[in-house]
Amino acid sequence: MKAVQTQQKEKPADFAIDFTKIQPGVNRNLNLREEFRHRLDMATIRSTSILNGAFMDMLTGTAPFILCFLKIDGEELSARRLQNIMTELSGTPFGLLRPGGLGGLKGLIRVTQLFSPERGEIYPPWQGMQYMHNMYSGTPKFESLDNDRYPMEWTGARAVLGAHLGKNGNRK
């Protein structure tokens, strides 16, 4: 009789920026992901983390929840390009708002943590601010993507927003 060896494998998937570049203490939830990755590295289970840029799903609402790394993303675009897409699709002029720089956002995060700590919550208000700060800093940007590993067409912002707005430019 031949023994069959089974191998445990785990493929955690996440809508995430490259959290391996975030310094400890800068973003609580991203630091927790990094801690989890280290625990997986010490376990007998093999893992491949799939870091899937969440931006497309987040354009139309909240992102759904779905470690070596598989880094995939649908499209990278600037705020100006997003402004132009929305203006073209909706027929309504969209503007850009610059409420301040990264230093101001960091200060706002600290104030929000002080007055609304919500320590037991998975995603307190300041957590989203930390995530935005990390994204705008450019630190966690994917240096390379693995999109070419899969023979598929990736959906861009124009298609996602066009479907969300419908033919007449109104929200569905």
Report helix, strand or coil for 11.
coil
Taking the domains of the chain in order of start, what are their residue ranges?
Answer: 9-94+141-165
Give the residue-averaged pLDDT of 60-70: 62
Which secondary structure element, helix H or strand E, spans residue 24, and what is its range?
Answer: none
Distance (Å, whole) CA 13 – CA 66? 6
Phi/psi of residue 89, each to 5°? Answer: -70, -40
Report pLDDT for 107: 96
- What pLDDT digit, counting tens, does each position of 135-158 carry? 889 898 888 888 888 788 888 899
pLDDT band at 5 (very low <50, low <70, confident <90, very high): very low
Give the residue-averaged pLDDT of 110-115: 94
For residue 158, the one-letter residue type is: R
- Nearest C-alpha neighbor of 59 from the set 71, 70, 46, 75: 75
Distance (Å, whole) CA 70 – CA 49? 6
- What pLDDT digit, counting tens, does each position of 22-42 carry? 889 888 888 888 888 888 888
Give the residue-averaged pLDDT of 9-32: 75
